[in-house]
Amino acid sequence: GTWEKLIEADPNHTEALVMLSRAHYFLADGFLALQAPDNEAVAKQEFATYEKGTNYGERALVLLDPAFGEAMRAGKKFEEAISKIESKATPAAYWYAVNLGRFASKKGIQQRLYYKDKLRATMERVLEVSPKYFWGAPDRYLGAYFALLPGIAGRDLPRSAKHFESSLAI
């Protein structure tokens, strides 16, 4: 497609990378996921699509916030590095996280738990710097996040409800 051609010509085309991350999420979530339960080949394609969306989002995130990339290369903990991103990196961080969250969910409970802190830190920073992004998406995400966690891992239904209410207000 057009966005792939843009990043072939310019691998640092951040807008195209963000749009590819977003497009892969919507392809997987809005089309492939609906067919995947009945079709193993489509389920594999769905998983691969979330993975590609995660990778495009990560590439855009590193380009949009070079300090994040530098911190990661210096061996900083992801949660620390993501906590300092600027609002200009919001689209990349958001689409990175939603793709990663679905990717982890498809891998199973162990992967969901493995990535939960990264996902929470990313979305909390997005909420902090761009609370109205994508019509209150950070609050919607965190609403689902706290509702879907296993109890032992931090499920918090009152906190979930507050995030959903904040999203609806936006």
pLDDT tens-digit series, residues 106-116: 888 888 889 99
pLDDT at 67 over 90: yes
What is the predicted pLDDT for the residue at 75?
A: 96
Q: How far apart, in whole angstroms, are the C-alpha atoms of residue 115 and residue 118?
A: 5
Q: How far apart, in whole angstroms, are the C-alpha atoms of residue 141 and residue 119?
A: 10
Over residues 100-122, mean pLDDT: 92
pTM: predicted TM-score of the whole model, two decimal places: 0.94
Over residues 135-149, mean pLDDT: 94
149 pLDDT band (50/70/90 cuts)? confident
> What is the overall mean pLDDT for the chain?
95
Is-contact 95 22, C-beta < 8 A? yes
What is the predicted pLDDT for the residue at 112?
A: 86
123 pLDDT band (50/70/90 cuts)? very high
Tokens of 21: 């991350």
The residue type found at 34 is L
pLDDT at 150 over 90: no
| Angle separating helix axes 40-64 and 14-27, nearest 10 degrees | 160
Query: 92: closest CA among 131, 62, 120, 67?
Result: 62
What is the predicted pLDDT for the residue at 127?
A: 98
List, in order, residues 6 or more apart from 21 with CB less than 8 Å away: 53, 54, 56, 57, 60, 92, 95, 96, 99
What is the predicted pLDDT for the residue at 128?
A: 98
What is the predicted pLDDT for the residue at 49?
A: 97
